[in-house]
Chain A
């Protein structure tokens, strides 16, 4: 036995855990769930809900001169204590005993459940949390099924406007204080607190303040009941109808791991998925809510060709051939390709092949820079700049050639331009419609109508990051997988499919049949990806590049874990 391991008996079976492990975590590791509300491994433990009370025992203190007898396994007898203890904040020690199924433990859970429900409105039929409510779940598992409460319930504020994205129902609140601790300990914006006392305790936002920081929606995730709900998601869908798919957020270079929930082809919400190398259990509000564009009326759904009377829909075959013929009609030196660091590695690999096929040297992506917020939002607002640099083989900072391309269009050196996944008239790209009109040919692949598409002779409808499979590399060099969550609208296609068909039209060869195959080709050609497969990327991603970059929020968590403030 290693020195730092202790023997602990859980429900009659002995286990070993590192000394200092919280009892609740030891039970979890032993496959025993201890119900809890206030405890959250990423937050401090106030021990206020009392749901995790368990019976605990320790070896009796020997009388002077007395020697305790050990059993054949060397275990001392356990003397069970009459008072229950909270499993969330207490740690295991040698020869400790925990009973999670004893009469004492059961009576504690029944008592706490009854008390939590006496002033609760029991409005499950109209509560957004129904179906994912800990109060419901533990009531079924640990409650008595009835109530002896005959008094009037305490009345509290309902539908309280505490911020732009979060709604509060105080009657449903069980005062676990998770949201208060999150805003104070993680988001550094301590705007939530309790007012009043006793049964009248009321969660409130501080006078004159609002819960409006960019991490406010995490409080909705960690609220174990229906007290805090998302203004965006509430009343949209019963959660049991949602289809959840694991993916990553493409709002910035962090690549927060997500779970995207949809119903019948519509995305309804995006929530963070725990990844302690990327985003812990959190994500920012902006990234989280950045999916509504997927359902936009402005989505491109058909391939378009520009004629004298504007764009008209054509078949994919004609559109791709027109694009290929047009590009092939220019000298290599007259063509530029501007791709996007919002594309997947697979998309970008085919962009690389296209450039090679056409002999194009002027190739870049649009840079998107902002400020690192000190938590999760990275300064690089593109999700795949590192991937773009690697896959496209850019020899300078992504985006640094764009200025030159603009100049070359102005001087007439560049006559044909293909823009893939970028609206070149966006402020980040900085192309004016007048400049674009100087081109002899402009092609565009994009998921949504925009000014570049307006000016383009050929417009091919692509996919959003919620509709494609593939991989990206985040700012810290982690290779992560993206999953298609909803089907493509109309005739739109995944960008790699469009690019493959374009390549086929140019060289007549057979292209890859899947994004997995594209990745394999990429792995053969770009050394950083060597030996990897798309399907082989773990749901939590894997380290591709050693960048030495750290995530501010994770560093802070590590410090708190080291101090024992949180479990992590």
Chain B
């Protein structure tokens, strides 16, 4: 790796461990095939097609790779869910809808190193027996779609895609499919519906588990961009060696996308669990802005439950429970879950004391009200209701009762919807109210209890958008 040099000012931080992002911001690196091949590109695919497909899955399982899209589900295990008796075609879909607010990693892979993704996908397709695969790119990434299409054309011409890949009998057709601008398309069954040309209404599970009844009611594996890239490196390193990166059950590297109130926001590829939240803020991001104090952190994309700066957490260290502060939380799946939030999509949002909590919550609520697909009742009706209440809190037109109502609306959504969007839109409200109730109530006025409200004037008063 020593021969890799980076564009001045964009050098990786010394705490980083660049695997997926090795070529991001690399000096002289371009998204073309030639450049990719110069650096050992498609060698892993050449190796893969000589292996037993199951052996590849076993390596991915041994590596302990967990999905980088948000849920953190073990990738190798997901692949084994295809029924062994299946006779239908198997599809693989790369979820490049990267739409969780605070997340901006996949776009860099697609923009700067598309062949890494294609190689990862081709290996994954070989492992699961897919001959047709799609990259579902969000509408807002037209550039990425163009680059990927060029890369697919190049790779096909060079025999890395298409018929008889690398001299084997393995055929793979790969297509880019562009979304139409909906957050819900990041939900895998919504994505599948969209790919089928329908409204992206997530499907009920059971019975529509994608690995059994996915695209065109055939077994379908949906993996995130970053997850698929990891497959290439797992094959290169061997599963066991890869698993030495990171921490047990939280292996490998992952890209953190840090945004908000820090000196140097950006993307950082680190070994999972090897840096703490404090180190992310202080070391990787150069600390908070001068004179500011940390107020809260949303550690895994906007739907993750907020963590309060002065909160104390109980975490298992070996056999004993220890109490730690926010800054000491290791950035891994299990620790963040144990602290009541989640690692999610890797989008870390830092909120300092200059932010009004009601405004932050309302910003999130506005996003989810706008993005609810509207298929099922609780989320469809509840997400806009929550937004309207938080509009009023920001506008100073709410009473303390409204905070209680807001919390109860969130409770009536969580766990009662078709897809995880219900949680995505209710967790912020639930956690913000639980942890910042006083701050929110402080923005309300007792005398407004029961007073009729007008949404237009509320929005105007707070300079908010509908």
A-side residues, CB < 8 A to B, are: 45-51, 53, 82-84, 86, 89-90, 107-108, 111-112, 114-116, 118-119, 148-152, 154, 174-175, 193-194, 196-201, 564
Give bound CA distance, A108 to B456, whole Å. 31
Residue from A53, A151, A197, A200 in contact with B416 in the complex, judged by beta carbons closer than 8 Å: A53
Q: A47-B418, A50-B416, A197-B371 are in contact. Are A115 and B388 (CB under 8 A)?
A: no
Asked if B377 and A86 sit within 8 Å, CB to CB, the answer is no
B182 close to A (CB within 8 Å): yes
A-B contact pairs, 18 of them (CB 8 A): A47-B418, A50-B418, A51-B377, A86-B204, A89-B206, A107-B412, A111-B378, A111-B411, A111-B416, A112-B377, A115-B377, A115-B409, A115-B412, A151-B455, A197-B373, A198-B369, A198-B373, A199-B372
Near A by CB (< 8 A), chain B positions 323-377 give 369-377
Distance (Å) between the CB of A84 and the closest chain B CB?
Answer: 6
Asked if B412 and A197 sit within 8 Å, CB to CB, the answer is no
B280 close to A (CB within 8 Å): no
Residue from B204, B389, B412, B456 in contact with A111 in the complex, judged by beta carbons closer than 8 Å: B412
Give bound CA distance, A63 to B409, whole Å. 37
Smallest CB gap from B415: residue in A? A83
Q: A83-B415, A198-B372, A199-B372 are in contact. Are A118 and B378 (CB under 8 A)?
A: no
Asked if A150 and B375 sit within 8 Å, CB to CB, the answer is no
Asked if A50 and B378 sit within 8 Å, CB to CB, the answer is yes
B14 close to A (CB within 8 Å): no
Distance (Å) between the CB of A96 and the closest chain B CB?
Answer: 13
Residues of A within 8 A of B372 (CB): 197-199
Smallest CB gap from A47: residue in B? B204
Asked if B374 and A148 sit within 8 Å, CB to CB, the answer is no
Give bound CA distance, A541 to B392, whole Å. 61
B454 close to A (CB within 8 Å): yes
Asked if B374 and A199 sit within 8 Å, CB to CB, the answer is yes
Give bound CA distance, A83 to B405, whole Å. 21
Asked if B415 and A116 sit within 8 Å, CB to CB, the answer is no
Give bound CA distance, A148 to B402, whole Å. 9
Interface residues on chain B, size class: 35 or more
Residue from B370, B385, B418 in contact with A151 in the complex, judged by beta carbons closer than 8 Å: B385
Residues of A within 8 A of B369 (CB): 198-199
B417 close to A (CB within 8 Å): yes
Which of A89, A194, A199, A201 has the largest number of chain B CB atoms within 10 A?
A199
Distance (Å) between the CB of B121 and the closest chain A CB?
Answer: 30
Contact with A along B266-295 (1 / 0, CB 8 A): 000000000000000000000000000000
B242 close to A (CB within 8 Å): no
Asked if B374 and A194 sit within 8 Å, CB to CB, the answer is yes
Give bound CA distance, A199 to B409, whole Å. 14
B147 close to A (CB within 8 Å): no
Residues of A within 8 A of B456 (CB): 152
Smallest CB gap from B200: residue in A? A197
Residues of B within 8 A of A150 (CB): 402, 450, 452-453
B383 close to A (CB within 8 Å): yes
Residue from B182, B383, B450 in contact with A199 in the complex, judged by beta carbons closer than 8 Å: B383
Give bound CA distance, A411 to B83, whole Å. 78
Distance (Å) between the CB of A565 and the closest chain B CB?
Answer: 10
Which of A50, A83, A89, A198 has the largest number of chain B CB atoms within 10 A?
A198
Which of B371, B416, B418 has the largest number of chain A CB atoms within 10 A?
B416
Distance (Å) between the CB of A82 and the closest chain B CB?
Answer: 7
Distance (Å) between the CB of A423 and the closest chain B CB?
Answer: 50
Residues of A within 8 A of B453 (CB): 150-152
Contact with A along B370-412 (1 / 0, CB 8 A): 1111111110111111001100100000000010010011011
Distance (Å) between the CB of B380 and the closest chain A CB?
Answer: 6
Q: A83-B415, A84-B415, A198-B371 are in contact. Are A115 and B378 (CB under 8 A)?
A: yes
Residues of B within 8 A of A107 (CB): 412
Q: A50-B416, A89-B204, A115-B381 are in contact. Are A175 and B374 (CB under 8 A)?
A: yes
Residues of A within 8 A of B418 (CB): 47-48, 50
CB-CB nearest 9 A-B residue pairs? A111-B412, A201-B374, A198-B372, A199-B384, A115-B381, A151-B388, A47-B204, A152-B455, A48-B376
Smallest CB gap from A113: residue in B? B377
Asked if A197 and B377 sit within 8 Å, CB to CB, the answer is no
Give bound CA distance, A48 to B376, whole Å. 4
Known: A197-B373, A201-B374. 18 other contacts (CB 8 A): A47-B204, A50-B377, A50-B416, A83-B415, A89-B207, A112-B377, A114-B412, A115-B380, A115-B381, A115-B409, A115-B412, A151-B389, A174-B377, A196-B374, A198-B371, A198-B384, A199-B380, A199-B381
B104 close to A (CB within 8 Å): no
Residues of B within 8 A of A51 (CB): 377
Q: A108-B416, A151-B388 are in contact. Are A116 and B381 (CB under 8 A)?
A: yes
Residues of B within 8 A of A149 (CB): 385
Residues of A within 8 A of B381 (CB): 115-116, 118-119, 199
Distance (Å) between the CB of B46 and the closest chain A CB?
Answer: 43
Give bound CA distance, A374 to B42, whole Å. 55
B199 close to A (CB within 8 Å): yes
Give bound CA distance, A145 to B417, whole Å. 23
Residue from A50, A108, A194 in contact with B199 in the complex, judged by beta carbons closer than 8 Å: A194
Smallest CB gap from B379: residue in A? A198
Residues of A within 8 A of B199 (CB): 193-194
Give bound CA distance, A121 to B52, whole Å. 61
Asked if A148 and B405 sit within 8 Å, CB to CB, the answer is yes
Asked if A198 and B417 sit within 8 Å, CB to CB, the answer is no
B201 close to A (CB within 8 Å): yes
Asked if B415 and A197 sit within 8 Å, CB to CB, the answer is no
Smallest CB gap from A117: residue in B? B381
Asked if B416 and A46 sit within 8 Å, CB to CB, the answer is no
Give bound CA distance, A151 to B409, whole Å. 13
Asked if B377 and A116 sit within 8 Å, CB to CB, the answer is yes
Asked if B416 and A84 sit within 8 Å, CB to CB, the answer is yes
Distance (Å) between the CB of B168 and the closest chain A CB?
Answer: 37
Near A by CB (< 8 A), chain B positions 18-66 give none
Residues of A within 8 A of B375 (CB): 46, 48, 175
Smallest CB gap from B418: residue in A? A47
Contact with A along B398-437 (1 / 0, CB 8 A): 0000100100110110011110000000000000000000
